[in-house]
């Protein structure tokens, strides 16, 4: 029997359909929009008796709304760890930068979580911070990383508070600093914050970079330069959570006797 993993994030929702018998899986991504329940309803429209495991910040909303489907939930830490280990068995650290939080997860050789750190109380170092600053510099978010790579130097950004960082960026522009240089400085500030989290958890390579911000070419380059050999940018960075949830749904079904 197939299982479904659903990762409900702040900007997107990913669905993975996993077939334990064949080892094949497929995935779908849709924007969260202002109606995450409606988006999930469309993604689960063809579900009938299929085990569903939800993760992400909206997992409890899904479990409550679709109680008739007996949706189970799993934390993002567990889901990303399992998804990363499945795709990259050699991985020892997972770095996930999403829209609302940043997570660093240390794995042992069998893919189990040994320790982790999570920043979910402040926008600093997350996709939301990048989105806010891209808007301030009037650059589309999807182009912000490439825009920053056009810098000819890295300016120092001292504040990671979104309000103060915007004020700092405005002051730099008023002094004639190139917008690309300011964008690079903002990316570098996030990278330094993330690297501090990695050091606190303990960097063991390979490090897998996942989450929506892993699409940003500037962040990938800065982190790859800092980590060095053993840095892996996930090919489909959005899918790890949903994949891990689908895999865990299959395990849960087996442990429950196939019910």
The domain spans of the chain are: 1-88+236-259, 133-190
- 108-127: average pLDDT: 86
Q: Kindly state the tokens that stand for 228.
A: 């060095």
pLDDT tens-digit map of 51-81: 999 999 999 999 999 999 989 999 999 999 9
User: Dihedral sign, CA of 93, 86, 54, 78?
Assistant: negative
Q: Kindly state the tokens that stand for 12.
A: 């997107």
Per-residue pLDDT at 204 exceeds 70: yes
- 159-166: average pLDDT: 79
Per-residue pLDDT at 40 exceeds 90: yes
* Residues sharing a CB contact under 8 Å with residue 24, sequence separation 6 or more, in sequence order: none
CA distances from 97 to 66, 110, 153 (A): 28, 23, 25
Q: From the options 3.30.70.360, 3.30.420.40, 3.40.50.970, 1.10.287.110, give the CATH code of 1-88+236-259.
A: 3.30.420.40
Per-residue pLDDT at 123 exceeds 80: no
Nearest to 193 by CA among 158, 166, 163: 158
Q: Fold identical between 1-88+236-259 and 133-190?
A: yes
- 133-148: average pLDDT: 95
Per-residue pLDDT at 256 exceeds 70: no
Per-residue pLDDT at 120 exceeds 80: no
Q: Kindly state the tokens that stand for 104.
A: 């660093």
Q: Which residues of 211-235 are buried (b: 16+ CB within 10 A; e: fewer)?
A: bbbbbbebbbbbbbeebeebbbbbe
**Other Cβ atoms closer than 10 A to 192:** 14
How does residue 227 score in pLDDT terms, banded at 50, 70 and 90?
A: very high
**If you average pLDDT over every residue of the chain, what do you get?**
92
State residue 242's pLDDT score: 98
- 225-231: average pLDDT: 96
Instruction: Enter the pTM of the model.
Output: 0.91
208: helix, strand or coil: strand
Arch. (CATH architecture) of 133-190? 2-Layer Sandwich (3.30)
């Amino acid at each position: 029997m197939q299982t479904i993993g659903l990762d409900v994030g702040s900007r997107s929702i990913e669905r993975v359909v996993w077939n334990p018998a064949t080892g094949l899986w497929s995935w779908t991504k849709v924007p969260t929009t202002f109606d995450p329940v409606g988006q999930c309803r469309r993604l689960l429209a063809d579900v009938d008796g299929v085990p569903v495991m939800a993760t992400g910040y909206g997992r409890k909303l899904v479990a409550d709304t679709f109680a008739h489907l007996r949706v189970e939930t799993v934390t993002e830490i567990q889901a990303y760890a399992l998804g990363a280990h499945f795709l990259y068995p050699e991985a020892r650290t997972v770095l996930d930068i999403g829209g609302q939080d940043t997570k660093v997860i240390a794995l042992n050789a069998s893919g189990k979580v040994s320790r982790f750190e999570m920043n979910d109380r402040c926008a600093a170092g997350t996709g939301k911070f990048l989105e806010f600053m891209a808007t301030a510099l009037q650059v589309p978010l999807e182009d912000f990383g490439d825009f920053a790579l056009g810098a000819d130097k890295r300016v120092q950004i001292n504040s990671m508070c979104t309000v103060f960082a915007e004020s700092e960026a405005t002051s730099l522009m008023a002094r004639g600093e190139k917008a690309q240089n300011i964008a690079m400085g903002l990316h570098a500030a996030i990278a330094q914050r993330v690297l501090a989290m990695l050091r606190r958890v303990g960097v063991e390579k390979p490090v897998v970079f996942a989450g929506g911000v892993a699409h940003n070419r500037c962040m990938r380059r800065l982190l790859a330069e800092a980590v060095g050999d053993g840095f892996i940018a996930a090919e489909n960075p959005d899918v790890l959570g949903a994949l891990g949830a689908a895999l865990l749904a299959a395990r849960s079904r087996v442990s429950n006797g196939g019910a």
